């Protein structure tokens, strides 16, 4: 059970950080601009934490899991990779967070 919840938290963290990196620089609120700048400046750390959370349960599922679990993990990883590629190469923020 911990393995499944750990995997879900990692996937959600990975996807949310990538989407926030694109979405937040375009808002008008000062606090959200600060958050967008923080996420944009520390994206490497957020990605590393999310991948560290994801890697152990993904390996365990691929080695010991049932066929349905393997399919679920594979589809989730494909969706996360798609969001990553879209957010980094195809969808760009109107203006990146340039904090003075």
pLDDT, one tens digit per residue, over 1-58 is 567 888 888 899 888 888 887 776 666 677 777 887 888 888 899 989 988 888 888 8
Query: Does 97 fall in a domain?
Result: no
Query: Does 17 fall in a domain?
Result: yes
Provide the residue range defining the domain that includes 70: 2-90
Query: Does 12 fall in a domain?
Result: yes
Query: Does 8 fall in a domain?
Result: yes
Query: Does 98 fall in a domain?
Result: no
Cβ-contact 35, 24 below 8 angstroms: yes
Per-residue pLDDT of 52-87, as tens digits, reads 888 888 898 889 888 998 999 999 999 998 988 888
To the question of pTM greater than 0.75 for the whole model, the response is no
Query: Does 32 fall in a domain?
Result: yes
- What radius of gyration, in Å, describes the C-alpha atoms of the chain? 16
Cα of 89 vs its chain's centroid, Å: 15
Give the chain's domain count. 1
């Amino acid at each position: 059970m911990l393995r499944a919840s750990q995997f879900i938290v990692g996937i959600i963290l990975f996807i949310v950080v990538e989407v926030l990196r694109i979405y937040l620089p375009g808002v008008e609120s000062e606090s959200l601009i600060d958050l967008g700048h923080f996420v944009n400046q520390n994206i490497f750390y957020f990605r590393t934490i999310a991948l560290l959370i994801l890697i152990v349960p993904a390996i365990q599922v691929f080695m010991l899991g049932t066929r349905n679990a393997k399919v679920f993990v594979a589809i989730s990883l494909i969706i996360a990779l798609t969001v990553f590629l879209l957010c980094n190469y195809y969808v760009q923020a109107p203006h990146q967070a340039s904090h003075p």
